[in-house]
Amino acid sequence: MEETKRNLCMQYVLLLLIGYFASQLYASSDVKFYESFDEAFDGRWVVSEKEEYKGVWKHAKSEGHDDYGLLVSEVARKYAIVKELHDPADLKDGTAILQYETRLQNGLECGGAYLKYLRPQEAGWTANVFDSESPYSIMFGPDKCGATNKVHFILKHKNPKSGEYIEHHLKNPPSVPSDKLTHVYTAILKPDNELRVLIDGEEKKKANFLSAEDFEPPLVPPKTIPDPDDKKPEDWDERAKIPDPDAKKPEDWDEDAPLEIEDEDAVKPEGWLDDEPEEIDDPDATKPEDWDDEEDGEWEAPKIDNPKCESASGCGEWKRPMKRNPAYKGKWYASLIDNPSYKGIWKPQQIPNPNYFELEKPNFEPVAAIGIEIWTMQDGILFDNILIASDEKVAESYREMKWKPKFLVEKEKQKAEEEAAGISGGLKGVQKKVFDLLYKIADIPFLSEHKLKILDLIEKAEKQPNMTIGILISVVVVVFTILLKLVFGGKKPAKTTEESKKTEVAETSNNQENTEEKEEQNDDTTAPPRRRNTRRDN
Burial class (CB in 10 A: 0-12, 13-18, 19+), 165: middle
* pLDDT score of 511: 43
- Contact, 451 vs 172, CB < 8 A? yes
Percent of the chain predicted with pLDDT > 90: 67
pLDDT band with cut points at 50, 70 and 90 for residue 513? very low
- Extract the runs of DSSP E, i.e. beta strands, from 146-274: 148-158, 165-170, 182-189, 194-199, 202-208, 215-216, 224-226, 241-243, 260-262
Q: Is the pLDDT of residue 493 over 60?
A: no
What average pLDDT does the segment 283-312 reach?
91
* pLDDT score of 481: 73
pLDDT band with cut points at 50, 70 and 90 for residue 146? confident
State pLDDT tens for residues 218-242. Answer: 999 999 999 999 999 999 999 999 9
65: amino acid identity, one letter:
H
Dist CA 367 CA 84 (whole Å): 9
pTM for this one?
Answer: 0.65
Higher pLDDT, 87 or 512: 87
Sign of the C-alpha dihedral computed for residues 382, 384, 387 and 393 taken in this order:
negative
Q: Is the pLDDT of residue 499 over 60?
A: no
Looking at the chain, the number of H-run helices and the number of E-run strands are 8, 25
Residue 44's nearest CA partner among 95, 83, 96 is 83
- Contact, 380 vs 105, CB < 8 A? yes
Phi and psi angles of residue 132, each rounded to the nearest 5 degrees, phi first: -65, -20
Q: How far apart are the first and last CA of the chain?
A: 84
Residue 2: enclosing H or E segment and its boundaries? helix 2-26
- Contact, 108 vs 71, CB < 8 A? no
* pLDDT score of 489: 57
**Count of CB atoms situated within 10 Å of the CB of 59:** 15
What average pLDDT does the segment 433-447 reach?
70
- Contact, 362 vs 99, CB < 8 A? no
Cis ω for the linkage preceding 445 (within 30 of 0): no
Per-residue CA distances from 316 to 273, 277, 309, 433, 533 (Å)? 6, 5, 9, 62, 25
6: amino acid identity, one letter:
R
Phi and psi angles of residue 510, each rounded to the nearest 5 degrees, phi first: -60, -45
446: amino acid identity, one letter:
F
pLDDT band with cut points at 50, 70 and 90 for residue 127? very high
Percent of the chain predicted with pLDDT > 70: 76
